[in-house]
Amino acid sequence: MTLANSQVFKTDLGPLNPVWAELILGLVVFGFTFLMLAKVILPKIRRTLDEREDAIDGGTERADDLRSEATQIREQYEAELAEARHEAARIRAKAVEEGSVAIAAARAEGNAERESILAAGAEKIASERAAAERELTADVDAWAHALAARIVGEPVGADRA
């Protein structure tokens, strides 16, 4: 080895003998890049990932909450519907009962009116029969005397005098 060669090797920089300016510049750029990643980019990434996780987990929780709320509302609706059905059945039963009472009352009133009409008719018939009998009785005496007079040939009874 010659001296020129040995100086070449000394000035020749290899991987184990870096240039200090480049090494410092590399460290500064690495530090700046590391700080940018650590302070700006990674928190944004972490925040985005947290928002996504919250959206997924929160969406699932909200969906579960909405599902349970919907179940409660449905149960409440079904209870109100069953209560309304019972109320409708009670109203129908009451209406049937009131209807049967009204029908019975109307029937009783109709029967009473029929009985009064029948009684009035029977009374009128009886009075007209009595009047007809009185008229006929008076006429029957006169006809009987007239007939007897015609048969006998001379006046009979009251006509004699």
pLDDT confidence tier of residue 160, bands split at 50, 70 and 90: low
Q: What is the pTM of this model?
A: 0.40
8 A C-beta contact, residue 149 and residue 159: yes
Q: What residue has token string 């009204």?
A: 102
Tokens of 115: 């009985």
The answer to whether the Cα torsion of 138, 140, 141, 146 is positive or negative is positive
DSSP letter (8 states) at residue 37: I
Residue 154 in tokens: 């001379």
> Higher model confidence: residue 8 or residue 127?
127
User: pLDDT digits over 54-105, tens only?
Assistant: 888 877 888 888 899 999 999 999 999 999 999 999 999 999 999 999 999 9
Q: Which two tokens stand for residue 87?
A: 């109320």
pLDDT at 43 over 80: yes
Q: Output the six-digit token pair for 127.
A: 């009075």
- Domains of the chain, residue spans: 25-155
